[in-house]
Amino acid sequence: MSENSATVSLPNVYDFDNTIVNFDSGSQFMRFAMKRNPKLLRFLPRITLEFLRFVRRVRFKKVPCRGEYYEFICAIRDFREEVRLFWEAKAEQALRPWYLAQLRPDDIVISCSPDFLLQPLCDQLGVRLVSTKVNLGTGRLESYSCYGEEKVRRLREAFGDTGINEFYSDSRTDTPLAKLAHKAFLVKGDKRVPWPNNK
């Protein structure tokens, strides 16, 4: 088997937000749910505080971390239906055409966004997902945020020592994953450029 055919047999791995979609799914879902259910606005101060704590930990390189971003889902009568309606509203802009053109059934999507939000779309696409785990009973994180070096740990936890054929992300915080790939690309809108100083 040639080296080229061997690498093609490996999965392609993709970040999600601002990579294969052109928005941040977690924040967009919060806005969507709060617009439809104004009573959820009472959770906004806590969400803002948790976000600021996350940014501070990232700045001082203290990630991974946990948070309470999603407690508001417990106040939604049928949050699974809310998730369905969210993706229905995003249908026309959900997935970048370049990703759909190269989608493979062995793709792995890896994201800091919550599993309850991304799993329905990944199931529809028939691809595998690694993301931040959220307890549906409390809305609190069950795992560290799937971010930076934590993405590598979570990928290994889910798929062992599998290699990566091609990796795509919009953020250099994903450099730990990019370094594992045979080829890595930084996504800038619909453009994909070689990852800076990957090797």
Task: Decide if 29 is inside a domain.
Answer: yes
* Per-residue confidence (pLDDT) for residue 60, from 0 to 100: 47
**Contact, 104 vs 128, CB < 8 A?**
no
What is the domain count for the chain?
1
**Contact, 3 vs 163, CB < 8 A?**
no
- Count of CB atoms within 10 A of residue 15's CB? 24
Task: Decide if 120 is inside a domain.
Answer: yes
* Per-residue confidence (pLDDT) for residue 49, from 0 to 100: 81
Task: Decide if 137 is inside a domain.
Answer: yes
* Per-residue confidence (pLDDT) for residue 92, from 0 to 100: 73
> Strand pairing partners for 193?
186
Task: Decide if 95 is inside a domain.
Answer: yes
* Per-residue confidence (pLDDT) for residue 198, from 0 to 100: 52
* Per-residue confidence (pLDDT) for residue 63, from 0 to 100: 52
Give me the sign of the Cα torsion angle 73, 76, 78, 81: negative
* Per-residue confidence (pLDDT) for residue 105, from 0 to 100: 95
Q: 3-class SS at 132?
A: strand
Instruction: Provide the phi-psi class of 18: left if phi over 0, else alpha when psi is between -120 and 50, else beta.
Output: left
Separation of alpha carbons 86 and 189, rounded Å: 22
* Per-residue confidence (pLDDT) for residue 140, from 0 to 100: 84
Task: Decide if 199 is inside a domain.
Answer: no
Task: Decide if 14 is inside a domain.
Answer: yes
Going from the first residue of the chain to its last (199 residues), give the mean pLDDT of each consecutive group of 10, the final group possibly shorter: 60 97 92 94 84 64 59 91 95 88 97 95 96 89 86 95 96 95 95 83
Q: 3-class SS at 165?
A: strand
- Domain containing 60 equals 3-194
* Per-residue confidence (pLDDT) for residue 199, from 0 to 100: 47
* Per-residue confidence (pLDDT) for residue 10, from 0 to 100: 95
Separation of alpha carbons 133 and 142, rounded Å: 5
Q: What is the CATH number of the domain that holds 9?
A: 3.40.50
- Count of CB atoms within 10 A of residue 90's CB? 18
